[in-house]
Amino acid sequence: MSAKEEFIEIYRENIRRDGADALLDYLEHKSDFFTAPASARFHGAYAGGLCEHSVNVYHCLTAYLERERVKELYGLEYPAESAALVSLLHDVCKTGCYREGSRNVKGPDGKWQAVPTFFYEDPLPYGHGEKSVYIVNGFIRLTREEAMAIRWHMGGFDDAVRGGSFAVSDAYNTYPLAVKLHIADLTATYLMEQGTSEVENGHPKNK
């Protein structure tokens, strides 16, 4: 089963909210969600990487939420629909942002050669998590906790946090699903998707 097929299967089995069909139609037929990379240089930097990453985050999040310790000690239980929504759709902000191109790199023989790459150009600079919430809410109504989870899934990498905002701390204290989605995103990116691009965890492979 391809990542696209798995994504659609998980989506249809779990997301039944009003507008779900319209959103899936948008992703499949009116956007590049299933062909876009997850990033230009870091994880999933290849066609289809975005969809694959989204499925990986889903599996990381659901596996975490299924643990008895999480349910009994932390008292955290979420509907399957919520888990599917926030994980599969947390990065829809990346649709329409990548274009294919090439750049010159020096080969082992010391000669420059053109290699394929992706360039990032955001036609709707609304933010990262904010933009995903904006797009999804255009089709279906998210709960407040779902919206907060998607909004703050970047954690300390979020531009607002890097600019000095402490709002992410308040969000994590109030909405535990946001914490769990962030952890799932990190797990997928740094553990499951190692070796899927030219750099490892932000560091060149040759170091």
In a domain, 113, yes or no: no
In this predicted structure, the answer to whether residue 182 has a pLDDT above a threshold of 80 is yes
Confidence grade of residue 103 (pLDDT, cut at 50, 70, 90): confident
pLDDT in tens, 2-53: 999 999 999 999 999 999 999 999 999 999 999 999 998 878 889 999 999 9
In a domain, 14, yes or no: yes
In a domain, 115, yes or no: no
For the chain, how big is the Rg over CA atoms in Å?
18
In a domain, 123, yes or no: no
Q: What percent of the chain has pLDDT over 90?
A: 68
| CATH number (domain holding residue 185) | 1.10.3210
In this predicted structure, the answer to whether residue 206 has a pLDDT above a threshold of 50 is no
**Bridge partners of 113?**
105
Question: In terms of Cα–Cα distance, which of 81, 68, 63, 62 is closest to 20?
Answer: 81
In a domain, 106, yes or no: no
In which domain, by residue range, is 17 found?
3-97+128-198
Two tokens, residue 178: 């946001």
* Coil/strand/helix, residue 78: coil
The pLDDT value given to residue 199: 53
pLDDT in tens, 73-90: 888 889 999 999 999 999
Cα 67 to Cα 55, 189, 205, distances in angstroms: 19, 21, 34
Average pLDDT score over residue span 131-154: 97
In a domain, 110, yes or no: no
Between the CA atoms of 108, 111, 115 and 117, what dihedral angle is there, to the nearest 10 degrees?
A: 90
In a domain, 112, yes or no: no
Mean pLDDT of the residues in the chain = 91
How far, in Å, CA of 28 to CA of 193, rounded? 23
In a domain, 7, yes or no: yes
In this predicted structure, the answer to whether residue 170 has a pLDDT above a threshold of 80 is yes
Say which range, 132-136, 189-193, 200-204, has the weakest mean pLDDT.
200-204
pLDDT in tens, 149-165: 999 999 988 888 888 88
Number of domains in the chain: 1
Residue type at position 28: E
Average pLDDT score over residue span 119-138: 95
In this predicted structure, the answer to whether residue 119 has a pLDDT above a threshold of 90 is no
